[in-house]
Amino acid sequence: MRFDKEKRINELELEIADLKNRMPAHSVKPIMIMRLEELEDELKRLKNEV
């Protein structure tokens, strides 16, 4: 089970990095900000569990 969480942590880190790279410097769409917050919240929760 720990392996699954660590794998998900890696996936989240990659997805967060990808999303940040796709964000424009100005006029970021609210949906992108919301998605980033969701991913970061899940990442933080999983890191606390491991």
pLDDT tens-digit map of 1-40: 788 999 999 999 999 999 999 999 899 999 999 999 999 9
d(CA 37, CA 42): 9
d(CA 42, CA 23): 20
What pLDDT is attached to residue 50? 87
DSSP SS3 for 26? coil
Please work out, in degrees rounded to the nearest 5, the angle formed at the alpha carbon of residue 32 by the alpha carbons of 22 and 43. 90
What pLDDT is attached to residue 48? 96
What pLDDT is attached to residue 31? 96
Domain ranges of the chain: 2-49
What pLDDT is attached to residue 34? 97
- Enclosing H/E stretch for 5: helix 2-22
In whole angstroms, what separates CA 26 from the centre of its chain?
20
